[in-house]
Amino acid sequence: MKQIFALILAVFLWFSSTPSVLAENTNLVPCAESPAFVERVQNAPDSYYTTKPLQAYSRLLCGEDGLPHLALDRFSLALDILIPFVMFFYIAGWIGWTGRSYLQAIHKQGFQEEKELFIDVTIFGTCMLKSLAWFVLAVQEFRSGNLVAKDEEIPISIR
53-91 pLDDT, tens per residue?
Answer: 888 888 888 888 888 887 766 676 677 788 899 999 999
Q: Give residue 112's region: left, alpha or beta (phi > 0; psi -120 to 50).
A: alpha
Quickly state the pLDDT bin for 134 (edges 50, 70, 90). Answer: very high
In a domain, 9, yes or no: no
Residue 79 lies in a domain: yes
Q: Which residue has the higher pLDDT, 106 or 23?
A: 106
Q: Look at residue 19 in the predicted model and tell me its pLDDT.
A: 62
**Spatial separation of the C-alpha atoms in residues 124 and 101, rounded to whole Å:** 9
CATH number of the domain that residue 106 is part of: 1.10.8.110
- Amino acid residing at 150: K
Task: Find the domain containing 35 and state its range.
Answer: 29-69
What's the number of domains the chain is made of? Answer: 2
Q: How would residue 23 be classed by pLDDT, with cut points 50, 70 and 90?
A: low
CA 134/CA 125 separation, integer angstroms = 14
Residues 70, 25: Cα–Cα separation, whole Å: 11
Provide the edge-to-edge strand list for the sheet that holds 61-62: 29-30, 61-62, 68-69
pLDDT > 90? residue 2? no
pTM exceeds 0.85: no
Residue 81 sits in the same domain as residue 140 = yes
- Same domain assignment for residues 115 and 64: no
